[in-house]
Every structure is written in structure tokens, then in C-alpha cells.
Amino acid sequence: AQKVTQAQTEISVVEKEDVTLDCVYETRDTTYYLFWYKQPPSGELVFLIRRNSFDEQNEISGRYSWNFQKSTSSFNFTITASQVVDSAVYFCALSEMMGANFGNEKLTFGTGTRLTIIP
């Protein structure tokens, strides 16, 4: 069975500090996708990034960066120079490929990390 662990339940940092959110996953699949979603106080789930299991290149998007290490089954998310608007709950998720060619993107979510940026 697939499992996503976000050990950090809550993190608080002062604005402009860097912060890393940890994500460890378990799967028996050789092909899978990893995701990060943001859930701001308004409640919607906002897609941040998708990474497939064949691509271990790290990615940077503005202040956001992701470090995927297949050897340790981790997909960590770093926010550089944090801002108050980054305050949200962040979810890491893993997709289970339930069959070929039919968009079977059932996601298994971690329990989320509540990030609070203190002004």
C-alpha cells in the first residue's frame, strides 16, 4: 500500500527565513508521481508541482524549490525568503497508477504540514 508521511505537523518561522517541508513516501510501484499542494486558509487545494519517478532533477520555481531523492524516498519542499502569504497547510501526495492510459491519478495524501509565517 502507498503511504506518504509528513512528520512535521506544524512549523512556524519568521518572515524572510527559509523553511523546508519534509515528505517521505512508500510505494511498490516503479512508476509514480509525487505532488505538492497548498491549502491556504480559504480552503481550496492549489497545485504546486508534479514530479514523476523517472525525473530526479531538482526544480526551482521562484522562491520554491523541490528536492527529490529516490534513494531515500523523499520529496522535500523548500521555501526561500518566506512571506506571510506562504502561510498555509502544505500537502505532499503520491499517485497510484491504477492502469494505463486512463488518467487514474488517485492521490494518496500526507497529513499535511501547517506552515505559519510570522511577520
Partner 1 sequence: DSGVTQTPKHLITATGQRVTLRCSPRSGDLSVYWYQQSLDQGLQFLIQYYNGEERAKGNILERFSAQQFPDLHSELNLSSLELGDSALYFCASSPGFSTGELFFGEGSRLTVL
Q: How far apart are CA 82 and CA 14, in angstroms?
A: 8
| Shortest distance (Å) from residue 18 CB to partner 1 | 27
47 belongs to the binding site for partner 1 (CB under 8 A): yes
- C-beta of residue 87 within 8 angstroms of C-beta of residue 15: no
DSSP 79-111: ESS--GGG-EEEEEEEEEE-STTS--EEEEE--
Cβ proximity to partner 1, 79 vs 110, nearer residue: 110
Identify residues 70-99 at the interface with partner 1 (CB under 8 A): 91, 95, 97-98
- C-beta of residue 73 within 8 angstroms of C-beta of residue 94: no
Among 43, 54, 62, 85, binds partner 1 (CB under 8 A): 43
Would you say the C-alpha torsion 77, 61, 34, 85 has a positive or negative sign?
Answer: positive
Cβ proximity to partner 1, 80 vs 108, nearer residue: 108
Site string for partner 1, 23-42 (x = CB under 8 A): ----------x-x-x----x
Give contact residues for partner 1 (rule: CB under 8 A): 33, 35, 37, 42-47, 50, 52, 91, 95, 97-98, 100-112
